Amino acid sequence: MSRPIIEVSHLKQYFPVKAGLFRTIPLKAVDDVSFSIEPGETLGLVGESGCGKTTVGRSLLQLYKPTGGDVYYEGVRIDAKNIRTYRKNMQIVFQDPYSSLNPRMTVSDIIGEPLDVHGLCATKKDRRDRILELMELVGLNSEHANRYAHEFSGGQRQRIGIARALAVDPRFIVCDEPVSALDVSIQAQIINTFEDLQQKLGIAYLFIAHDLLVVRHMSNRIAVMYLGRIVETAPADEICDHPLHPYTVSLMSAVPVPDPNTERTRHRIVLKGDVPSPLHMPSGCAFRTRCRFATDKCAAECPQLTDRGEGHQVACWNT
């Protein structure tokens, strides 16, 4: 069995928030998250807005310095001291293609910047040839290399962002909600681009999104987050067809079904109450304040992920 390309162990990311003139309290954006990703695999990470998905991706890449826990790239622990050595192996595609590209730079300079930073091209000709190759790889017209980002559509701008990430030949990419800011008609094109690149280059993805249909299509495995913790993880079809955690069950019940007859008759589970503040987390299981199955044990102790067979893990006392 191959070694995971990425291993995340007990990752924590707390942000200090002022709670008065001289006091701060921690906002637990990510609290004890662990997972691994195999070479060439896609792990989907889903959950409500504000649950910590993006923070996981950025902490993993050391864009935020983690409060605790460890991240390993091919068995080597990554930290602030050695991240530059591994930076070219781990890249990110950001959510917003409008704000993630420098409006003062041409497409050629945006894609070429990583090549310059890492000294990957010996001559100007090599640099230009590599830029044109990357543009073709992601479906952009190489004749537009000297245009500026504002001259492109949202889908084209996201392709520019993908080409920039690919410039340094990474083996792992964090895809931070890369299609959520795009029209539905464009989303499918970008998803197909990600899939084609994975087949050609063998790249592994952490695919962060809130659209469960997109995640199911893209992912080999799916991890579900709630308030900074992973509550369930399993192969994509297994977790979508047979969810175990009450939160995952409610998420899956909201996914539309293409058959109108089935859609009319199926049961939609609506969660009651508001999401607790990460500044004032409930004791025990964070989901218990909205869970119809909550017991005294849920309030007393936080459940850990336990194996239910076939790679299906769930953190719940009542499943």
Q: Which helix (H) or strand (E) holds 40?
A: none
Nearest residue to 162 (alpha-carbon basis) of 195, 185, 129, 209: 195
pLDDT band at 1 (very low <50, low <70, confident <90, very high): low
Pairwise CA distance, residues 14 & 34, whole Å: 16
- Give tens-digit pLDDT for 150-206: 999 999 999 999 999 999 999 999 999 999 888 888 999 999 999 999 999 999 999
Pairwise CA distance, residues 216 & 123, whole Å: 43
pLDDT of residue 263: 65
Beta strands in 152-291 (DSSP E): 172-176, 204-208, 221-226, 229-235
pLDDT of residue 297: 94
Nearest residue to 245 (alpha-carbon basis) of 185, 205, 203, 288: 288
Q: Collapse the DSSP code of 270 into the 3-class scheme (helix H, G, I; strand E, B; otherwise coil) and give the result.
A: coil
Pairwise CA distance, residues 14 & 75, whole Å: 25
Distances (CA, A) of 302 to 60, 128, 282, 285, 299: 24, 54, 10, 5, 8
Pairwise CA distance, residues 190 & 179, whole Å: 7
Pairwise CA distance, residues 111 & 167, whole Å: 7
Which pair of structure tokens corresponds to residue 259? 């058959």
- Give tens-digit pLDDT for 223-261: 999 999 999 999 999 999 999 999 999 998 887 777 677
Residue 11 DSSP code: E
Which pair of structure tokens corresponds to residue 246? 């009450």
pLDDT of residue 269: 81
Mean pLDDT, the chain, whole residue set: 92
Please state which of the ranges 51-55, 278-282, 296-300 shows the lowest mean pLDDT: 278-282
Domains of the chain: 38-62+84-219 (3.40.50.300), 241-319 (no CATH)
pLDDT of residue 20: 81
- pLDDT: is 199 or 96 the higher one? 199
pTM for this prediction = 0.93
Which pair of structure tokens corresponds to residue 249? 């069950």
Q: What is the dihedral of CA 241, 244, 247, 248, to 10 degrees?
A: -30
Pairwise CA distance, residues 25 & 19, whole Å: 6
CA angle 202, 78, 97 (to 5 degrees): 55
Pairwise CA distance, residues 154 & 159, whole Å: 9
Q: What's the helix, strand, coil split of the chain in %, to 5?
A: 35, 25, 40
